[in-house]
Chain A
Amino acid sequence: MKKVWWKILCAVFLIYTVIAGFLIDVPRLPILHETIRNQYFHVCMWFAMLILFTTSLYFSIRHLSSGKQEHDIIASEATNTGILFGILGLITGSIWARYTWGAWWTNDVKLNGAAITMLTYLAYLVLRNAITDEQKRGKVSAVYNIFAYVMMLVFILIYPRMSDSLHPGNGGNPGFNKYDLDNHMRMVFYPAVIGWSLLGVWIMTLRIRINRLSLTLSEREGT
């Protein structure tokens, strides 16, 4: 029970988010109206992605200093799951944009920044696949991961603050929104963030376990 409490919490929060997100009242803001409910999904995806990428950065740095393969596995699986959440974030944003702005994609600083971040981390995946030697792969992808993270921070934190954006609220991505969250929304939003982030961590731990198991299997077959 000790090990699964957070998974049960995650499931409960997510079910609560989906149900309460659509049933509880939301403040009426211009342009946004009911679609502000997207916040429970779209913004949470970015939070989860950031948490996963930060985890990946931390373990990349640890891998560089320690050389242990475990850290490399965690870094790479965190990045994989982070990419998944990033793509989901882009999709949820795009669907929202279709109904609010009338287009699936617009030429907006934040959107472009998010898309380029995805490209950067997809290039990370390509790099990992291109190197066959495990030790080398860990080190090289760790170095690239650090670069990618720094550039991501530039893209999603610095650029949007420097220019105007159509995107609702200027604190969108990981910053705190200036949506005039009222207490009703906060009741759903905070559990939603926790729920989605826990889901991301859950997926990541599953992938790490699969990866470790396949490594053990291949080692056993080798000897």
Chain B
Amino acid sequence: MRAYIAARLATAVLVVLGVSIVSFCLTFLSGDPAEIMLPPGATAEHIAKFRAEWGYDDPLLVQYGRFLSRAVQGDFGVSLRHGQSSLPLIAARLPATLQLTVTAMLLAIVLAVPLGVLAATHRGGPLDLLAMGVALLGQSVPNFWLAIMMILLFAVSWGLLPTSGRGGPAHVVMPAVAIAINLMALLTRLVRTTMIEVLAEDYVRTGRGKGLREVMVLTRHALPNALIPLVTVVGLQFGYILGGAVVIETVFTWPGVGLFTIQAILNRDYPVVQASVFILATGVVLINLIVDLLYVWLDPRIRLG
């Protein structure tokens, strides 16, 4: 087990390092910060001076060396736009993103599990059709469109929820639903499929044969086994959830890492983009690591294998 964890940790570090390198190179493809940073009247001479001051006229390799030597110490440089260290700026926005993504994930799971179980146990019936219809809709609807529609309906027309921003629990409802909807749809289909498979297993038939009540068969025997793939998928989906959060945070002006990163990209704020990618990548890698370990704990066959 220790060797397994050590190997997974080593891979995780390599992935984060690789992502940092890619993000460093990609920022250079996205354009020069000079034109955005300087006032419109800046001349070629001023642009050259700016590039020299910030080291953007050095060869790419020199810049990468500088970036790497600082990054290993957790220093991604000062934000061009905010004039403050990048990493603390991003870290300050993590709680908002975590609040949103964790709420969205819990919401997706809480809705998807009963829907999937109902669909599996009523296979081919109206409930199954309804659950699959909801899932199809959830997977087809673009989340930014859903977000705008919810704002118009629940905030503007009915005045039930705030249009945007972060504050009390009411603020999190629409952004969380907008993010959760795709994941909920995916998980509903997954739970349905795995439940159908598990319900056909011998031990379920044995349970029923022993005269166990159907609720007991479902909750004690079938569901725990059907949920194992769910853990993996939820873990893998965390990256997608963060991706979705970037869009939804922007629509709802939710003050998280996603919104901040989008602004940094648009403003060519290289240090913030690099710090943000580093933190998000580390988050995704960590979650995946936890999922892998959890999977081993849930299914001893993997450990034995």
- Is B truly associated with A? no
- Enumerate chain A interface residues (CB-CB to B < 8 A): none
Residues of B at under 8 Å CB distance from A? none
